[in-house]
Chains A and B, each alone.
Chain A
Amino acid sequence: EPEVTQTPSHQVTQMGQEVILRCVPISNHLYFYWYRQILGQKVEFLVSFYNNEISEKSEIFDDQFSVERPDGSNFTLKIRSTKLEDSAMYFCASKGWSGGAETQYFGPGTRLLVL
């Protein structure tokens, strides 16, 4: 069964550094998403991406964040200058049709720790 994959599984970085989180969505899906989950809190929507542009974004997704689909398979989330409060689990998702409904399938996540 096709899966969403994410790399790395864990990343530790210093405050102020740039990080790039990578995702490979399911191959025939067209919508892609990033969500994050701060430890002990809800899963929160960050951004959705379709046809090589941002479709929707939340208030969290400020100018420090960017997304890109640099080639036909990868979907990346870049945090330009990390802050302590960016420490979280970041989930990528892609959306496809399943059982008559649009369904988002999530990757295993990247745990980001900012020191």
Chain B
Amino acid sequence: AQSVTQPDIHITVSEGASLELRCNYSYGATPYLFWYVQSPGQGLQLLLKYFSGDTLVQGIKGFEAEFKRSQSSFNLRKPSVHWSDAAEYFCAVGAINAGNMLTFGGGTRLMVKP
């Protein structure tokens, strides 16, 4: 069974500082990997995804993530955080099959200090 762990429940960074959100997954084959962001009271917006090829993927809003097979990780990074990045971030893994339900991690709530 697939699973996702986001070890950090809360992270606080200062505006302008760099950010890394951790994600570890468990899946028997090469998965599809996703990062979604959820602002308060809002739905889930796709930031980026990995399915094959280059292990460093670029997303929207200046985010990037790196797939490391040896570490079963897909960490999200941003070089300089903006106050508007404060939100909850979810890592998800999807099976590469027709149905491919997503399994989500518990989320990391990001707070940004001025």
A interface vs B, CB < 8 Å? 31, 33, 35, 41-45, 48, 50, 55-56, 58, 91, 93, 95, 99-109
Contacts and interface: CB of A to CB of B under 8 A. Distances in A.
A22 B106 CA distance: 26
A107 B42 CA distance: 9
B32 A45 contact: no
A55 B99 contact: yes
Given A31-B99, A42-B105, A109-B42, 6 more contacts: A42-B107, A45-B102, A50-B98, A91-B43, A104-B46, A107-B43
A42 B101 CA distance: 14
A35 to B, nearest CB: 8
Contacts of B36: 106
Given A31-B99, A33-B101, A50-B98, A106 B107 contact: no
Interface residues of B, number: 24
29 contacts: A35-B102, A41-B106, A42-B104, A42-B107, A43-B44, A43-B104, A44-B104, A45-B101, A45-B102, A50-B99, A55-B98, A55-B99, A56-B99, A56-B101, A58-B101, A93-B102, A100-B52, A101-B32, A101-B51, A102-B32, A103-B46, A103-B49, A104-B34, A104-B94, A104-B102, A106-B36, A106-B46, A108-B43, A109-B42
B103 interface: yes
B90 interface: yes
A49 to B, nearest CB: 9
Given A48-B99, A56-B99, A56-B101, A43 B42 contact: no
A51 to B, nearest CB: 10
A45 B36 CA distance: 15
A102 B100 contact: yes
A100 B101 contact: no
A107 B46 CA distance: 11
Given A102-B32, A107-B43, A109-B43, A43 B90 contact: yes
